[in-house]
């Protein structure tokens, strides 16, 4: 889809694919390249407007999904981008790196597991070294495993969900803080699950509520150094997180059907919020949570 096609006035309910989708199980963390239909991360459809010229951004989980859409948008807006991802996602990550470099921007590839504190600190250090500083931190990597009952969540899953979604947020942000100068921005990916937790996502929803509280407290600290921090709370988005264990295959086949749009969001449809919150256009915006839920709203 061209930028003209994406941005022309039209019924947004009809703009992107609707369920039913094919069942498409894949092992976690999943690859965007294996999804049917292919998600729109803005590869063809996002056009920049110079909103982040010269900025240096680190985005975790930027190989696929929402993070990939933010990475493409940031590069098109003029930023250099370091991307975090798991080593098994190298093929997805290579596509993102090629797209960033196609804009004439610098891409820094940072594979590794953020459940590990030492890696989190190394991730920030390597991003700062590779980019020559850090203006934008997007904590977006996340783990989601659907389980029908608390009895089915073992301690390992609980630990991995909290390590990935909360501990890493803490370690990475703590390491990044000394590098953030006035005008810098932190953006954390929360979820509608923070407000309307599903019975099948008990551990995940707990972390997402934690991310909201973390972001609000962090915002109060960081504004004292002229740095803003906000969260984004997505509703259903068509990403590899869902078919790779984030939902049952039955739910994947009907993913997004319950939204007011009758379809899931595509990652490019949330990228403009990540651009706004990173840019100086958001100069009076901090400690906020932006819902992009497909009409459900957040309270």
For binding to ligand NAD (CB under 6 A), which residues are involved?
A: 29-30, 60-61, 63-67, 84-86, 89, 113-115, 140-144, 164, 189, 191, 234, 236-237, 239-242
> For tokens 């590990």, what's the residue?
116
> d(Cα 74, Cα 105) in Å, to the nearest integer?
10
Interaction partner, residue 241 (ligand NAD, Mg ion, none; CB < 5-8 Å by kind): ligand NAD
| Residue whose beta carbon is closest to ligand NAD | 65
Q: What is the DSSP letter of 15?
A: S
223 vs 248 by CB, closer to ligand NAD? 248
Q: Which of 74, 204, 274, 290 does the annotation list as catalytic?
A: 204
The answer to whether residue 269 forms part of the interface with Mg ion (CB under 5 A) is no
49 vs 213 by CB, closer to ligand NAD? 213
The answer to whether residue 64 forms part of the interface with Mg ion (CB under 5 A) is yes
The answer to whether residue 89 forms part of the interface with Mg ion (CB under 5 A) is yes
Please report how close the Cβ of residue 61 comes to ligand NAD at its closest, in angstroms: 3
With contacts defined by CB under 5 A, name the span among 19-27, 84-92, 128-136, 184-192 that binds Mg ion: 84-92
CB count in 10 Å sphere of residue 101: 13
Q: Before 29, cis peptide (omega within 30)? A: yes
> d(Cα 58, Cα 65) in Å, to the nearest integer?
15
Q: 149 vs 7, 104, 194, 202, CA distance in Å?
A: 42, 48, 18, 8
Strands 107-111 and 80-85, by their bridges, are: parallel
The answer to whether residue 241 forms part of the interface with Mg ion (CB under 5 A) is no
> For tokens 């590869």, what's the residue?
43
> d(Cα 114, Cα 139) in Å, to the nearest integer?
11
222 vs 267 by CB, closer to Mg ion? 267
Interaction partner, residue 191 (ligand NAD, Mg ion, none; CB < 5-8 Å by kind): ligand NAD
Catalytic annotation on 290? no
For 191, residues 6+ apart whose C-beta sits below 8 A from its C-beta are 204, 205, 208, 211, 233, 234
Interaction partner, residue 256 (ligand NAD, Mg ion, none; CB < 5-8 Å by kind): none
What's the alpha-carbon Rg for the chain, to the nearest Å? 18
22 vs 226 by CB, closer to ligand NAD? 22
How many helices (H) and strands (E) the chain has is answered by: 9, 7
66 vs 219 by CB, closer to ligand NAD? 66
Active site residues: 204
Binding site for Mg ion (CB under 5 A): 29, 63-64, 89
């Amino acid at each position: 889809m061209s930028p003209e096609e994406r941005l022309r006035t039209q019924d947004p309910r009809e703009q992107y694919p609707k369920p039913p989708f094919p069942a498409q199980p894949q092992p976690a963390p999943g690859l965007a390249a294996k999804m049917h239909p292919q998600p729109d991360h803005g590869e063809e459809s996002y056009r920049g407007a110079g909103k982040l010229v010269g900025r240096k951004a680190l985005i975790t989980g930027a190989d696929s999904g929402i993070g990939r859409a933010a990475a493409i948008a940031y590069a098109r807006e003029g930023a250099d981008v370091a991307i975090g991802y798991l080593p098994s996602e190298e093929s997805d990550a290579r596509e993102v790196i090629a797209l960033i470099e196609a804009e004439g921007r610098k891409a820094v590839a940072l594979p590794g597991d953020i459940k590990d504190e030492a890696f989190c600190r190394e991730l920030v250090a390597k991003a700062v070294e590779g980019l020559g500083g850090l203006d934008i931190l997007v904590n977006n990597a996340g783990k989601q495993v659907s389980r029908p009952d608390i009895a089915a969540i073992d301690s390992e899953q609980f630990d991995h969900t909290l390590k990935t979604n909360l501990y890493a947020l803490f370690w990475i942000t703590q390491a990044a803080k000394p590098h953030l100068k006035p005008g810098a921005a932190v953006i954390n990916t929360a979820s509608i699950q923070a407000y309307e937790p599903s019975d099948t996502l008990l551990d995940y929803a707990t972390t997402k509520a934690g991310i909201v509280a973390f972001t609000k407290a962090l915002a109060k600290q960081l504004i004292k150094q002229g740095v803003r921090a906000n969260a984004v709370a997505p509703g259903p988005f068509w990403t590899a997180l869902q078919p790779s264990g984030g939902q049952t295959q039955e739910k994947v086949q009907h993913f997004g059907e319950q939204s007011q749009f009758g379809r899931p969001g595509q990652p490019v449809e949330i990228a403009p919020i990540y651009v706004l919150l990173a840019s100086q256009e958001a100069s009076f915006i901090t400690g906020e949570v932006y819902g992009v839920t497909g009409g459900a709203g957040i309270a």
